[in-house]
Structure 1
Amino acid sequence: MEPVVERIVATIGDVSCSSPVTGPGTVHVGGLDVALGEVRPGTPVAWSLTNAGDAPVRVRSVAVVFRLPGITGPLRMLRHGYQSWSRTDVAVFGVDRDPSTTPGSVEMMQGIHHADQRRALDGELRSEWLTVLRDAGGRSMLAGFDAGVEHDGTWRLRPSGDPGATPELWAEAFLGDAQLGPGESRALHPFVTEPVADGDVCAALDRWARRVGSLGGARISAPYQVGWCSWYHYFHGVTEQHVRDNLSLAGNWPFEVFQIDDGYQSAIGDWLTTNEKFPSSLDALAGVIAAAGRRPGIWLAPFIVAPDSEIARRHPEWLARFADGQPLWGMVNPEWGGGRGGVMYALDTTRPEVLAHIEEVCRSLVEAGFTYLKLDFTFAPSFDGVWSDPSCTPAQRVRAGYEAVRRGAGDGTFLLGCGVPLSHVVGLVDGNRIGPDVAPSWSLPGTAVTLPGYEATAPATLHSWASTLSRSFMHRRLWLNDPDCLMLRTDETDLTVEAITTWAHAVAVSGGMALVSDDLALLGAGARSLLDDVVVIGRAADRAAIEGAAPRCEDLMDAAVPTTLTAAGYALTADPATATSTLSRPA
């Protein structure tokens, strides 16, 4: 499968312009000069753009459009998700649809789960950062961007417009209406298209991740992580006493990290003060955890604030805005309250004083003793809106926030990204959530409230399973994978024993982080034995990844939900419909 360059398309605001491409050189399109290097399979393509006019322009995107000659349908596409919780699956062109085109789709969900929050075209499929295509003849091709630091990279399969013609593949640099001044030039992230030798998609994904991690200075040296987290038993209702009770029961458990999750803060945005459920100060809590021999960890959502938070009241000028001047929404979660029914505002990470504030918050948390920070809902700076510096792309806004976190936290603090556009944070985070939230149920309960098109991003252990297998190749290449927490309890859960075991073994064989999130008082000898098994397998799989053998998901391109994962001689196979599985071990 060898794509052929046809044209370049530039989108300025809502207007798209197109110019044909005949070879390497500069193409004038829509008032922009786009310089395109030689396009050869397996070689990164260099390109850049320049504002050729005498007035500023807002560039939404620039794309190189390829024909895909000679393919045999149906054509399958690996759709890699935008951020931690976004679905990664395999879709069939002409059969499946982009979730944004689902009737009733909500634009905020589109912004959370795609670089471009606008509705996709009818018949279009898209993937963020990278993709794999495979036709009915078994020919496969990987396509990926080298980075996502300066802008997003989106791969789009679109109908060509000619009946019976093969689809077009778009390599899109998404700049999100970033403003370019007259004569201003910007280098764009190189991208590569390469045939998959012998159809070995796992090996191709591993090569791509190694390259991107090396180019981005990926932080992959942290030790294998085992810990406890408060979220999946206590949720927002967690109290200081809950934390202390579990710490007192953790004596012989192999936890290195002990993390307080959402529920301690006085308000979203006011991270240094606790609420009435946590009468002790943060430094006192960190001291108690450290005295028990664990690394203190804490959760925060550093880029959003509640309307009634102290920070929002004191600094309304720090908020990004809608076009009408109202504060830009960065998330909606009724559980948080905040004075507007759970609406949270996005901090403007293009303002130096906002970055200084984020830096100081993280420095203060580390000085209090928390050297493990979980950073959540960090997609907020990517939304369309009015930002203080209009020249910044969404990727640059997210990246700037994370850079401020790292400056404040220091090099020795473990940063765990969550709800983050994955391509933006290579080289800044030590670990990254790579799937939706688990839940005390395997699939979505019938009573679950979801938004049209995005059901597979809602909390359910099945959804975590799918992402853990689909993104297993990223572990120890771009960061340490965080599949999300183990679910060990057999009380206060709808998970069967088979489902608990299947998920635990998926976490183990992936080599990713192993965090428990149950009330330890509910866990007996069976749960402890399962955790010990997870740690043994996980350390072996993690060690294999470090030594060069990444986990492999052999049936990644065969079904929407993959079924197999292998690493370090272990092979896990499951039936996603029933949550039953078999695990074979090294001889």
Structure 2
Amino acid sequence: MILDPSGPSIALGGILLDKLAPLIDGVMPEFELEAANSEGAVWALEDGSRFTLRLSQDRLTLGLSAFDGEKRLSAIGLRIGQVFNVRQYLRNGYMSWDGSYFVQPDTAREVVASDPAIASGYAMTALLPHDGAGAVVLGFLRHDRFQSRFTFDFASGPLSINVETLIDRKPLQGEIRAEPLALFHGDAVEPALRQWAETVAANAPIPPRIPERRITGWSSWYNLYASLDEPVLLDHLDAAARFRDAYRVPFDIFQIDDGFTPEMGDWLDFRPQFPQGIAPVMRAAVAKGFTPGLWIAPFMVGNRSRLFSEHPDWVVRSRADGMPLAPMTFYGEFRWHKRSEEYYVLDITHPGAEAYMRKVFRTWAKDWGCGYFKADFLHLGSTYGPDEAIWHQADLTRIEIWMRMIRLIREEIGDALLLCCGSPLWAPVGYTDAMRIGRDVGVSWTGHYSAQSLLRDQTARNFGNGLLWQSDPDCILLRERFHHLDDNQIRSLAHFAGLTGGVVMTSDHLDEVSEERKQLLAESLGGGRPFQCSFPELGRSDLHYEIGTYPNGKPMAVATADPVLVQRAPTPSGATVVNVFNTGDLPATRLMPEGHGEGPSAQTDAGRDQFLNLAPYQSLQIVLDD
């Protein structure tokens, strides 16, 4: 890595980061380059302060100093005015559902104005060169103090990137430092991403929690949704136990995913369908040999909830009008199985709200016996900065606020398993055991909540599995009815999820699915030990774009690429299985020469240079003897 003081610029891995400059509150201030050498640069700003960049090995640090009194910045960062020789960049979403995928600026230029989401990212990026291999990774080291943001601009010229730490107007004196960044080149894309994940793990305030056993079992949501009661749950529990015992497979969790509380926020109350509460079902699960689990959305408060009625001061208020912020509204026929029309954000900085949530998690864990917690919609606690929201306690960053909740949860549940969903991906490292890394799987192949979008996000976020948390690719659908997936799609999704090496759950009644589908689930569960898979083709396919629509009707950039995914995973015997998965709606053919290596190839039992003919949505698994 070379820092050229004349730019100043940094050359690394065939990519040039040029015209480096200070970025304060999202804009470049008036400045004069005061000093620059191979180890950094200093800019004198018009207000007399100094902006400093330091480069040491593979670390980049930024800071603002020499100012009088107190400063309340929105953000501090680095403007990379021109980035040369980038074929694609990784647009890394902030939380579970907002997508991570590669973007190809040369072909996306015509659609970026319609869908600016492809030009914004968080935490890190990977830059892939036009020529040469591997990736240049630029990513923040810590995520528990500030949110970080990347903005890519290529609509009308060369690619430029803004890299920012959001200070959220936290009052600081003497010096303001951005979160340090890792900057390095890796010879291959996914190993480079894993290297960044290892760096995040090493810099986290506490070590990652990586379960020694895969999180597996049954969850109610994708079959029963909110239509459940105690007899229905006990019936599914019996079926889950019969499946586990018949196939002798790891199948440990029995989780009730929503549907037992009357309103969001009333976490200690029950719907009429549960006159005895939920504890009897939890005890029944334990008696059957399962770890009982529950779903909660700790930042959500319904406007019809008893919690809001009794404590309206426990929700976050809008700075614009003082009314409760309502990030989710349901004004029409669909009310999410509740009475509430609006959903507010719990103000965890309020002592009363904090005490209440501590009581909730303590009760669930100690009194009800919950051993597995799925905490959902967690992003709501970090969505709003100080310009939009009024919190009870001021002068905290949005991530400092968010961390209060995740620390509270871990303190109250002890060593119980925790899955974060709809969550910031990197902030809970060390507190969560598992992380949803894509959208809900849904019941169709295409669309916003679909298998197609799930697969895209899984491949681009797979690198964190086993290093930061156990990844959750969402539930496997097994039932033969009540969805829009064909047999190839069902089988391929199950194999894909099983070979990711992380969480494997299903929601179906296991007495009502065929023996073939039960066997498919048993195969997907494996031996119970977690592992890491890899996607050796990640970032290789050229991307082409057209305009589609988001569910809200806004334009969406839709990328088309090579539909064939190649996935490698270890087997319990020490061999390697290669999963070749045609995700497209047309047949595909792939050559499978010896050893697979860096391309879509493998050695089959029938000999070398075999052709694989894949039907639409079909996947084939080839075992290599390593």
TM category (shorter chain) comes to 0.7 to 0.9
Deviates more, 1:211-220 or 1:413-422: 211-220
- 1:266-300 residue CA offsets vs partner (Å, 9 max, x unmatched): 21011122101222222222111111110000000
Q: CA deviation at 1:228?
A: 0.2
- 1:302-325 residue CA offsets vs partner (Å, 9 max, x unmatched): 011101111111111111111210
2:309 to 309, 313, 317: 313
Q: Is the 8 A contact 1:6 1:66 kept in 2?
A: yes
Unaligned runs of 5+ in 2: 1-14, 245-250, 544-558, 571-575, 586-616
Query: Match for residue 344 of structure 1?
Result: 343
1:178 equivalent in alignment to 2:169: yes
Q: CA deviation at 1:35?
A: 5.2
Q: CA deviation at 1:98?
A: 11
2:537 to 554, 559, 573: 554
- 1:229-274 residue CA offsets vs partner (Å, 9 max, x unmatched): 0000111222222211101112233320000001111210111221
Query: Match for residue 375 of structure 2?
Result: 375
Deviates more, 1:207-216 or 1:330-339: 330-339
Query: Match for residue 303 of structure 1?
Result: 299
Query: Match for residue 473 of structure 1?
Result: 463
Change (3 A) 1:580 1:51: farther
How do 1:84-163 and structure 2 match up within 5 A?
A: 84-96=96-108, 102=114, 125-138=119-132, 140-159=135-154
1:325 to 322, 336, 340: 322
Structure with the higher fraction of residues in helix conformation: 1
2:508 to 518, 532, 544: 518
Q: Is the 8 A contact 2:348 2:404 kept in 1?
A: yes
Query: Match for residue 206 of structure 1?
Result: 194
Q: Is the 8 A contact 1:10 1:29 kept in 2?
A: no
Deviates more, 1:433-442 or 1:274-283: 274-283
Task: Please give the root-mean-square deviation of Cα atoms over the aligned residues, in Å.
Answer: 2.7
How do 1:221-240 and structure 2 match up within 5 A?
A: 221-240=211-230
Query: Match for residue 107 of structure 1?
Result: none
Distance in structure 1 (CA, Å) of the matches to 2:479 and 2:81: 52
How do 1:166-565 and structure 2 match up within 5 A?
A: 166-175=158-167, 177-181=168-172, 183=173, 185-197=175-187, 200-216=188-204, 217-254=207-244, 255-323=251-319, 324-332=321-329, 334-336=334-336, 341=341, 343-367=342-366, 368-384=368-384, 385-410=389-414, 412-444=415-447, 458-536=448-526, 539=528, 542-543=530-531, 545=532, 551-558=534-541, 559=543, 563-565=565-567
Matched position secondary structure for 1:424: coil
Q: Is the 8 A contact 2:182 2:196 kept in 1?
A: no
Distance in structure 1 (CA, Å) of the matches to 2:537 and 2:619: 16
Distance in structure 2 (CA, Å) of the matches to 1:154 and 1:574: 33
Q: Is the 8 A contact 2:297 2:378 kept in 1?
A: yes
Matched position secondary structure for 1:267: coil
Unaligned runs of 5+ in 1: 104-118, 445-457
Q: CA deviation at 1:96?
A: 2.5
Q: CA deviation at 1:477?
A: 0.6
Q: Is the 8 A contact 2:233 2:281 kept in 1?
A: no
Distance in structure 1 (CA, Å) of the matches to 2:108 and 2:354: 41
Change (3 A) 1:552 1:34: farther
- 1:37-91 residue CA offsets vs partner (Å, 9 max, x unmatched): 4225x5122334459344553x22211122456x346x31111111001111111
Matched position secondary structure for 2:178: strand
Distance in structure 2 (CA, Å) of the matches to 1:265 and 1:220: 30
Q: Is the 8 A contact 1:469 1:553 kept in 2?
A: no
Opposite residue 403 of structure 1, the aligned amino acid is R
- The TM-score with structure 2 as length reference comes to 0.79
Aligned-residue identity in percent: 24
2:55 to 26, 30, 39: 39
- 1:76-123 residue CA offsets vs partner (Å, 9 max, x unmatched): 1111111001111111115427999537xxxxxxxxxxxxxxx77xxx
Query: Match for residue 455 of structure 1?
Result: none
Query: Match for residue 571 of structure 1?
Result: 578
Distance in structure 2 (CA, Å) of the matches to 1:413 and 1:30: 53
Matched position secondary structure for 1:156: strand
Q: CA deviation at 1:534?
A: 0.7
Deviates more, 1:481-490 or 1:221-230: 221-230
Indicate the structure (1 or 2) with the bigger Cα radius of gyration: 2
- The TM-score with structure 1 as length reference comes to 0.84
Structure with the higher fraction of residues in strand conformation: 2
Q: Is the 8 A contact 1:144 1:193 kept in 2?
A: yes
Distance in structure 1 (CA, Å) of the matches to 2:297 and 2:390: 21
Deviates more, 1:327-336 or 1:233-242: 327-336
- 1:132-157 residue CA offsets vs partner (Å, 9 max, x unmatched): 11232245311111121111222222
Change (3 A) 1:47 1:353: farther
Matched position secondary structure for 2:317: coil
- 1:446-498 residue CA offsets vs partner (Å, 9 max, x unmatched): xxxxxxxxxxxx31112112222221111111100011011111122211110
Distance in structure 2 (CA, Å) of the matches to 1:249 and 1:226: 15
Q: CA deviation at 1:3?
A: 2.1
Query: Match for residue 581 of structure 1?
Result: 619
Change (3 A) 1:32 1:63: farther
Matched position secondary structure for 1:232: helix
| Equivalent residues, number | 534
